[in-house]
Amino acid sequence: MRRFSTLLLCAATVMAQANNAEQGEPTHRPSIGLALGGGGALALSEIGVLRWFEENHIPVDAIAGTSMGSMIGAFYATGKTPDEIEHLMNDQAITQVFRLNPDFRALSYRRREDRRWAPNALNVGLRHGVSLRSGVLIDSGLNSFLSQNFLAYGSDLPFSNLPIPFRCVATDIAEGKEAIFRDGSLVDSVRASISLPGIYSPAEQGEHLYVDGAILENLPTGTLRSELHPDVVIGVSLPLAPMEKGQGNSILGVLQRSFSVASWGNELRSRTLADLVLQPETTGMDTGSYTKTKELVAAGYASAEKQRSALLRYRLDDAEWAAYLAHRHSLLRPAPRLLAGATVTAPSPALRRAVEKSLVPITHQPLDLKKVEDKMDDIRSDGRYDADYAVVVKPSGSAQTAQEAQLNVDVKDKSAGPPFLLLGADLAAQSGVPARATLDTAFLYQDFGGFGSEFRARVSAGFQTTVGTEYYRRITTAGFFVAPHFDFNRMPVYIYSDQDRVAQRLSQSAGGGVDGGFTFKRSSELRVGWQERFQRWKTDTGTDGQADFSGTSQWAGVRYRIDDQDRALIATHGLRAQASAGYLYSTVNSRNAPKVDFAGSYAFTAGKGHLFSMGLEAGSLFGRNVSDPFRYTLGGPSRLSASAMDEYRGTDYFLIRPAYLHRIASLPAPLGQSIYVLAMYEAGQMRAPNFNTVTRQDGYLGLAAETPLGVLTLGPSIGDDGHRKFIFTLGRFF
């Protein structure tokens, strides 16, 4: 009986060892688990630890990660080398991941119009009362980055079957407890773990709402031990940085410090569960130092070197290391090559059908994530919906065989709206001239009256009072639309003679019309329309020798606009232009007149930090004598800057504006804004019946800075005939 029991015990031992060998667990050495803690940019130091491990043949048999550590750990667990991980965390990736607003090029044409009109606008949702978005940063860039880099691991798979078994930690604020991700989509799991409260919106999965795992377990040594059972646990723990001077003087600073202290408290407890703790020295760097990847990687490498003697006891010889790498490589999953189909979930049948139709050209084709991302941008471009996707790998006979994939697209309503309210401001000031400042508000209700249609109302109050409303009714999904509109405008108008202000008038108009047209993808629009307006032109002070009047005016014509530039602030490349041709008729105190005008700018980059822009404007009423309210104007910032705003009025004009911008500073992501030295030359001419032709030229030299409040410009302009102005603007640019 004893012999039989002994035989059973031996057999069980052999079977257990065989099973361990199949799972890649070491049978002749202690298994090593690595716990990678969070810490924002400081967690990039963990790449250096991994590099030291590889150079010294220290195997990693299990990984658990929290927050940024979950991303680094997931990269390594799915087969990326430390060099590849460091390369991934480049400036381009940081810019993609950390964004305050969607890329301008990813916006629909109408949303580009809104961004131009109010580049500093605060977006307020009105669906459930007044609400702002739940994260400072948008997550579309982050989701795209994760999807691109975990393409083969977006389906439902056990994380224990990765090349290195893996776990990541998040905090479920709906249930008030820690969440450990063991399987499913690696993209969704890492996204949940790095959802820093207030920075990114929580990751929503069913009834669960996940935020950063650092709240409850910043160093996941406990998770590593309880889930993956390594013999040895090594933790990479990032020290609590000293409190910054003045950090306690702001709400944001206090919240940030409080979060760091709370995370540090649970990290100290987690350290006690590690057999060995590595502590990278990150003095002079902080959680936002994403541009210091090389320095942080070096700090992590140095922390492992400092513990060299303790680590080398786990070193493998060359043959063992080769076998270890071979086993990891055998578990890699190839990226799928073919997109076999797509499924769509959406809030309405019309939207679902539209999205399904848009995906037809890329299904049953080689999988191209760039095309998939473009389709997601199309869905998000109008600001009405959120859209995410998952690439689900279809099972095949072998893990090493390229597989087909299914695209699952999830389209959701924005939680805050519509309707939305945009709040912004604009300021233009010149020495010796009244400043023009307005508070700008836009009310936007998308899908009002039908899918793809919208109601938009804009109100500006201040120097100028304007109200403009338009109902944009989409006729076909191809892009045809009809748009009735109404507007009101009231503003003071200063009349000049030889740089002297001789009169102040009140211009007041109201009217409406209807346009029909076609929107070409995201960048351009063609309209044909008619409008009628009532105009009042009244003297307030002084005299310009012209009579007061009031009456109606009508215009009919065609207009084409294109905005293919890369930024709403200071463009680095692309064309923005508007051209119109029409006929002005039945106009009070004026002759009937054809009217043709053009305004455009083209920007391009020549070498690092060197931007060039060429602006051109021209308009003609063909010398017809129309009254002042219907004439063109010149003068003011970027339109003959050394002259007063709207100093010249006439029926035919042109303006050329070449500019050079040299970048002298750039802010880190997510701000990503730049400061430039701006040099600009302007030349223009204005003609009018019975008036002398005016030709002016001037130069401007100053600063142009991109800020969250818009573009700030500051500097002097000197022109001919004694024209000089000092200029300050904040808001719109060119």
- Would you name the residues annotated as active-site residues? 67, 212
Q: Cα Rg for the chain, rounded, in angstroms?
A: 32
Q: How far is CA 91 from CA 74, 243, 288, 445, 546, in A?
A: 20, 27, 13, 36, 60
Q: Would you put residue 447 in left (φ > 0), alpha (ψ -120 to 50) or beta?
A: left
Return all residues near 365 (Cβ < 8 A) that are at least 6 apart: 338, 339
For Cα atoms 358, 100, 663, give the angle at the middle one, nearest 5 degrees: 110
Closest CA to 281 of 50, 36, 83, 45: 45
CA distances from 636 to 428, 648, 726 (A): 9, 10, 11
On the 0-12 / 13-18 / 19+ scale of CB atoms within 10 A, 225 is: middle
**Three-state secondary-structure class, residue 710:** strand
List the structure tokens of 732. Answer: 């719109």
Q: How crowded is residue 662: how many other Cβ atoms within 10 Å of its Cβ?
A: 12
- The residue among 667, 581, 585, 572 whose CA lies nearest residue 611 is 572
Cα separation, 271 vs 687, in Å, equals: 79
Helices vs. strands in the chain: H and E counts, helices first: 16, 33
Spatial separation of the C-alpha atoms in residues 289 and 275, rounded to whole Å: 29
Question: Which stretch of DSSP H or E encloses residue 221?
Answer: helix 221-228
C-alpha dist (Å) from residue 383 to 117, 352, 380, 444: 16, 17, 6, 10
Q: Are strands 32-36 and 232-236 parallel, antiparallel or unpaired?
A: parallel
Q: Is the peptide bond prior to 418 cis by the omega test (within 30 degrees of 0)?
A: yes
Tokens of 292: 């210091």
Q: Which of 101, 102, 103, 116 is nearest to 566 (CA)?
A: 103
H helices of 169-275, in order, are 186-193, 214-217, 221-228, 251-271
Tell me the C-alpha distance between 112 and 524, whole Å: 10
Distance CA 725, CA 719 (A): 9
Assess contact for 672 and 626: CB atoms under 8 A. no
List phi, psi (to 5°) of 90: -90, 180
Pairing of strands 385-393, 404-413: antiparallel
Query: Which of 203, 177, 183, 208 has its CA nearest to residue 67?
Result: 203
Encoded tokens for 435: 């400043």
SS3 content of the chain, % helix, strand, coil (to 5): 25, 40, 30
For the record, the structure tokens of 42 come out as: 């400081």
Q: What tokens appear for 297 in the block?
A: 């990687």
Q: Are 38 and 213 in contact (CB under 8 A)?
A: yes
Find the angle CA(238)-CA(241)-CA(243) to the nearest 5 degrees: 160
Give the Cβ contact number of residue 198 at 10 Å: 16
